[in-house]
């Protein structure tokens, strides 16, 4: 700060803005700043400075080729998630990166499931907003995801779009019976991608995403590695893919932890 002639308040404001934009990230434990995921979108050649992301991309690419489904890497930037790697099974397809997804139900389960209790509550309330039934449902989803080790999401792109639209609608001034209908729609769209293990629809509806967390050396979810079948799968197929994905994510976690001095 002395070299730049900045006050502490000004420097903090600049760093906060850089974090909000994804150029930097701040570790909640030691408060240290490091390069953020947004840099990968404009400087892919600089991946040597972010070995975990590079290793995750390699894993997503390998999974895509092995399984025949698109693979992706997703990182958190504040209250949003950013796709920082996307691989098609067909190598002729150019990877698509940069899409931002709100970090709120039904999105981000693989991040929230292993977060602190305080952060889990914050994630739940971004959709539940005091709705006790929806709160319980989302808490069950997080618990089941931790138990299973990976997330399974049946939220198709069309359903995701509908969920975002319904979630942004203002209910103030609406008649009570309309607000009740809107609240029910929020519950339905928020949880429609989460099916219980005994739900017969599991093997009839296409799966949008199977995701596993990659942990930092501090045992926090640094990013998630995903595959996107976009087709119906049997429970056995889901479990097989989930185990394969979890092994790949664990390998990335271990490999990255070994690089930490």
Tell me the whole-structure pTM to 2 decimals.
Answer: 0.72
Domain at 50-157+192-257, CATH class: alpha beta
Half-sphere exposure of 235 (CA within 13 A, CB side): 9
Per-residue confidence of the chain (261 residues) as pLDDT tens digits? Answer: 566 667 888 888 888 888 887 878 887 777 777 777 776 666 555 555 678 888 999 999 999 999 999 999 999 988 889 998 888 865 444 445 567 888 988 889 999 999 999 999 999 998 887 788 889 989 999 999 999 999 998 876 666 666 666 656 655 666 766 556 555 656 665 666 677 777 776 778 889 999 999 999 888 999 999 999 999 999 899 999 999 999 999 999 998 766 654
- The residues spanned by each domain of the chain are 1-35, 50-157+192-257
164 exposed, middle or buried (CB, 10 Å; 0-12, 13-18, 19+)?
A: middle
Residue 2, pLDDT score: 61
Which pLDDT belongs to residue 124? Answer: 92
Which helix (DSSP H) or strand (DSSP E) does residue 136 occupy? helix 132-148
Kindly compute the dihedral angle of the four CA atoms of residues 198, 233, 110, 120, in this order, to the nearest 10 degrees.
-30
Cβ atoms 232, 205 nearer than 8 A: yes
């Amino acid at each position: 700060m002395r070299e730049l002639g900045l006050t502490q308040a000004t420097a903090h404001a600049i760093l906060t803005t850089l974090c909000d934009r994804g150029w930097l990230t701040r570790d909640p434990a030691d408060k240290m700043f490091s390069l953020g995921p947004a840099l990968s979108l404009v400087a892919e050649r600089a991946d040597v400075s972010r070995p975990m992301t590079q290793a995750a991309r390699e894993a997503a690419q390998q999974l895509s080729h092995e399984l025949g489904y698109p693979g992706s890497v997703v990182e958190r930037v504040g209250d949003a998630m950013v796709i920082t790697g996307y691989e098609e099974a067909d190598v002729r397809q150019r990877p698509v990166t940069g899409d931002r997804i709100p970090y709120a139900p039904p999105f981000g389960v693989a991040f929230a499931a292993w977060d602190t209790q305080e952060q889990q509550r914050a994630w739940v309330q971004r959709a539940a907003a005091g709705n006790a039934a929806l709160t319980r449902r989302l808490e069950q989803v997080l618990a089941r995801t931790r138990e299973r080790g990976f997330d399974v999401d049946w939220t198709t792109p069309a359903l995701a779009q509908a969920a975002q639209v319904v979630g942004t609608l203002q209910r103030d001034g609406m008649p009570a019976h309309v607000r009740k209908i809107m609240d029910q729609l929020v519950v339905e769209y928020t949880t429609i991608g989460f099916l219980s293990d005994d739900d017969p629809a599991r093997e009839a509806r296409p799966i949008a995403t199977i995701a596993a967390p990659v942990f930092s050396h501090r045992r926090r979810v640094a990013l998630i590695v995903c595959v996107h079948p976009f087709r119906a799968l049997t429970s056995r197929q889901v479990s097989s893919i989930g185990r394969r994905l979890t092994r790949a994510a664990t390998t990335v976690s271990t490999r990255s932890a070994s690089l930490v001095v």
